[in-house]
Amino acid sequence: MELMNKVVIITGAGTGVGRAAAIKLAAEGAKVVINYNQSEKEAHKVVNEIKQNGGIAIAYKANVANEKEVKELVSQTVQTFGSIDGLVNNASITAQIAMDDLDAVTDDIWDSLFNVNVKGMFYCIKAVVPYMKKQHFGAIVNMGSVAGMTGIGSSIPYAATKSAIHTMTKSLAIALAPSIRVNSISPGAVETRWWAGNEEKMYQLTGELPLQRISTPDDIAEAIVFQLTQKSITGQVFTIDNGQTL
C-alpha cells in the first residue's frame, strides 16, 4: 500500500524499533499512532519529533495485554483519523533467565510474557480487523525474533512466545486473506536499550556474525515499511540478523 495519509498504529513505539518505525512511516506520509504503556515521556518525544518534521502523530497509552484498553486504543484511533490501514505489533517484554535454570521459570513469568507478546498481539489484531475488513484493505506486521527460530534467547519463555508469534502470523495470513495481509519480522541482535549493561557482550557478538555488525532499529524499520507496502507478500517471516542464524 502507499503510505501517504494511511493510518498506522505502532505498539510499543516510544523507544527502539517502534520509535524508528514510527519516524520512518511518518516521513513517508503516514498518520501514526504511538502506543505506549510505561514510556510516556519517550512516546511524546517521538510525537513531537514527527510533528517538527511536518508529520502527523498522536500518542496513546494502552497495555496491549488488556483487551479493553486495546479496544479503546483502536476506537480512539478511528475517531481521530477515520480509519486504520496498518498495524505494527511491536510491543514486547522479556525475562533474563539462564536457559538451563528451569526452576526460575515461574508461572508468573510464563503468564506475563504470553499475555503481552502473544495474546497482546492477538488482541490488537482482533480489534483492527473489523475496520480493515470493512474497507477491504489492511496490512499487519508482527515483531518476532530469531529466538523463536533457534530456541536460544533471553529465556525459554521468551523464545517460546516468539515462536508462537511466527506461527500465529501464518495462521492469521490464511484466515484474513485476501483483504488483509499479515507478516512478521524476525530480528537477530538489535542495538536497543535491551542491551543496556551488556554492551561488551553485544560487541563480542558482532565479531561472530558474518556481516560483523549489529542491526540498528532503522534496519528493522525499513523491513517493516517493506512489509506494509509490498502487496504480494503475506504469511512470511523475514529474518534480519546479519547472518546470525547461519
- The reported pLDDT for the residue numbered 214 is 86
- The reported pLDDT for the residue numbered 213 is 87
Q: Rounded to whole angstroms, how far apart are CA atoms 82 and 223? A: 26
Q: Which of 60, 131, 158, 203 is catalytic?
A: 158
Assess if residue 164 is contained within a domain. yes
- The reported pLDDT for the residue numbered 201 is 62
- The reported pLDDT for the residue numbered 44 is 98
Mean pLDDT per segment of 10 residues, for the chain of length 246 residues? Answer: 95 96 98 96 98 98 98 98 98 89 94 98 98 97 95 91 98 98 95 67 70 92 98 97 92
- The reported pLDDT for the residue numbered 208 is 83
Assess if residue 113 is contained within a domain. yes
Domain limits at 27?
7-240
- The reported pLDDT for the residue numbered 199 is 57
Assess if residue 1 is contained within a domain. no
Assess if residue 89 is contained within a domain. yes
Assess if residue 73 is contained within a domain. yes
Annotated catalytic residue 158:
yes
* Count of domains for the chain: 1
Compute and round to an integer the Cα radius of gyration of the chain.
17
CATH of the domain at 94: 3.40.50.720
DSSP label at residue 190: B
Assess if residue 245 is contained within a domain. no
- The reported pLDDT for the residue numbered 96 is 85
Three cell numbers at 104? 526460575
Residue 143 has a CB neighbour count (10 Å cut-off) of 24
Contacts of 136 (CB under 8 A, 6+ apart): 179
Assess if residue 2 is contained within a domain. no
Assess if residue 29 is contained within a domain. yes
